Structure 1
Amino acid sequence: MLHTPWHLSSARFSLDTMASADPLDSALDLLRRLNPKDVKQNVDYLCQLAPALTEELLESVDIPLAVKQCLKTKRDFLCCDYNRDGDSWRSPWSNEFQPPLDDGEGIAPSDRIRKMEVKANEAFDVYRELYFEGGISSVYLWDMDDGFAGCVLLKKAVSPSPKSNGSWDSIHVFDAQDRARTAHYKLTSTVILSLGNEAENLGIMDLSGNMVRQVEQDMAVEDDGSHVANIGKMVEDMELKMRNLLQEVYFGKAKDVVGDLRSIPPLSETNRDRATQREMINSMAR
């Protein structure tokens, strides 16, 4: 039996009795206040508390990507709401749902879009190896009235020691609107990062969160291969920007905060070094 934690049990009142508020907004607001590392578990709990919100929550909340293995090709692929049909997920390698659907059918792209999907999976498999040196990638495309849309999924998880682990999940959702010799692309990228470490001189550290960025761009198109190249370039640029932002701003700020809260060397040595530094600066100024 799955037990609901007290902090989510208390949410039942908010979701069931706040008639003046949108239940979905209340659920999303609650998720923003909880530990991002436990977002998947918390979404499951909220779906139990408010089953009517299940579909909207799964569509609105980005959670760490699940991994399944294609039974036909024996290759791993990533699962998200964009390749899901009920309780089955479509493999980008075989284009088949797992487990098989009862009616034997599912939502699948047209032949033209499927050919692009195959090329995109091949291209991002190379990209994954170059930038991540491991991990898993999956690309899914679907038809739209004025073009097509899709998502690029990347996941890398490491555990260098029993007391340290980390995971990177990036979800890039885009749509491409065909125009005369060009296409208009709109890309929304989400990175979910989780880092955990435990050491005697540091204690237990849990750093996790997510970042969302969006960009729109018009690019030249000659054929369907141009779409794959354009999407690849946009995803590559966006991932580099988000990684640099995480490293320089968020990690840098976290390091400063941790340094102010807890010093690895004795504070007496740190204060003595700071006093020496101030004295040198004052003497140079004189």
Structure 2
Amino acid sequence: MASADPFDSALDLLRRLNPKDTAANVQRLCSLAPSLTEDLLESVDVPLTIKRDTKTGRDFLCCDYNRDGDSWRSPWSNEFFPAIDDGEGVVPSERVRKMEVKAGEAFDVYRELYFEGGISSVYFWDVDDGFAGCVLLKKSASPSSKSAASWDSIHVFEALDRARTARYKLTSTVILNLGTDAENLGNMDLSGNMVRQVEQDLPVENDGSHVTNIGKMVEDMEGKMRNLLQEVYFGKAKDVVGDLRSIASLSEAKRDKATHQEMINSMSRS
């Protein structure tokens, strides 16, 4: 019998553990099996972490797509923090960097309109026959000392240039964490993630068209995933609570039962 692949076993283990603890569990697995570190960091989506760009004074989000070793590139200054000793690190070409800056400004407005706070970061990089990138959005809230919530969305895309069009491949992941430990409600933990993919061919006139197309695709995908999460998390919870405990009063329940019995009796007499 062939032995199980360590990487597949690690992924299988992560799927069985609480999604809320994914980041900590990935670090534990990396400590236990250092040879899997790069593969795990590239393959497993975890809640986004925040770092400060000391040159511009702005926060930015960290993921595997702006990481170079133990340093992360800021989209605001295009520099790595902490600084890389052996050079500038991997940065996009001048053309792709210009699109990255425009997209970053656009999604900063998008973040303020839809999230009313939080942090956004956009990273682009060069690939054969086009470019690729990711759009990161994070919003955390703590209504009280015993409750907290966070939304992390990671949109990774590839844009392949063609004659007057571009082929876009978008993979979107939303990580949602909701938790409370209030005395009147008890302990509640709703954590999970959702992944969706889409491909589209869209017209392109210039580099600005890429930013517009990507923005529309991300906006549409986020709206769909938000509605699905609302249905999965809150709709299902409402159904479960409804099955456990009716909200109707005792008098209404008796009246409905009597009406039901009367209908059965009338049907049996006919």
Normalising to structure 2: TM-score of the pair? Answer: 0.93
Does residue 152 (structure 1) correspond to residue 135 (structure 2)? The answer is yes
Residue type of the alignment partner of 1:32: R
Deviation at 1:270, TM superposition (A): 5.7
Aligned to 1:86: 69
Aligned to 1:250: 233
Alignment partner of 1:104 out of 71, 87, 101: 87
Alignment partner of 1:41 out of 16, 24, 49: 24
| Cα separation, 1, equivalents of 2:262 and 2:106 | 60
Paired residue secondary structure (1:239): helix
Deviation at 1:248, TM superposition (A): 1.8
Alignment partner of 2:205 out of 200, 222, 226: 222
Mapping for residues 50-69 of structure 1, pairs under 5 Å? 50-69=33-52
Would you say the 8 A contact 2:152–2:175 is kept in 1? yes
Aligned to 1:187: 170
Q: Any unmatched runs of 5+ in structure 2?
A: none
| Cα separation, 2, equivalents of 1:275 and 1:249 | 32
Would you say the 8 A contact 1:202–1:264 is kept in 2? no
| Cα separation, 1, equivalents of 2:154 and 2:208 | 22
| Cα separation, 2, equivalents of 1:207 and 1:273 | 33
Deviation at 1:251, TM superposition (A): 1.8
Deviation at 1:20, TM superposition (A): 1.3
Does residue 29 (structure 1) correspond to residue 12 (structure 2)? The answer is yes
Aligned to 2:58: 75
Cα deviations by residue, 1:157-203 (Å, 9 ceiling, x for unpaired): 00010111100000000000000100000000000000011233321
Mapping for residues 254-265 of structure 1, pairs under 5 Å? 254-261=237-244, 263=245
Aligned to 1:8: none
Paired residue secondary structure (2:258): helix
Deviation at 1:254, TM superposition (A): 2.1
Deviation at 1:278, TM superposition (A): 3.9
Deviation at 1:282, TM superposition (A): 5.5
| Cα separation, 2, equivalents of 1:200 and 1:222 | 58
Paired residue secondary structure (1:235): helix
| Cα separation, 1, equivalents of 2:147 and 2:253 | 32
| Distance change (3 Å), C-alpha of 1:232 and 1:279 | farther
Does residue 113 (structure 1) correspond to residue 92 (structure 2)? The answer is no
Deviation at 1:214, TM superposition (A): 0.3
Kindly report structure 1 stretches of 4+ aligned residues shifted beyond 3 Å: 258-261, 269-286
Does residue 238 (structure 1) correspond to residue 217 (structure 2)? The answer is no
Would you say the 8 A contact 1:128–1:137 is kept in 2? yes
| Cα separation, 1, equivalents of 2:19 and 2:249 | 33
| Cα separation, 2, equivalents of 1:280 and 1:202 | 36
Q: Any unmatched runs of 5+ in structure 1?
A: 1-17
Percent sequence identity over aligned pairs: 76
Residue type of the alignment partner of 1:276: R
| Aligned-residue CA RMSD (Å) | 1.9
Paired residue secondary structure (2:38): helix
Would you say the 8 A contact 2:79–2:88 is kept in 1? no
Decide which structure has the larger Cα Rg and report it. 2
Aligned to 1:122: 105
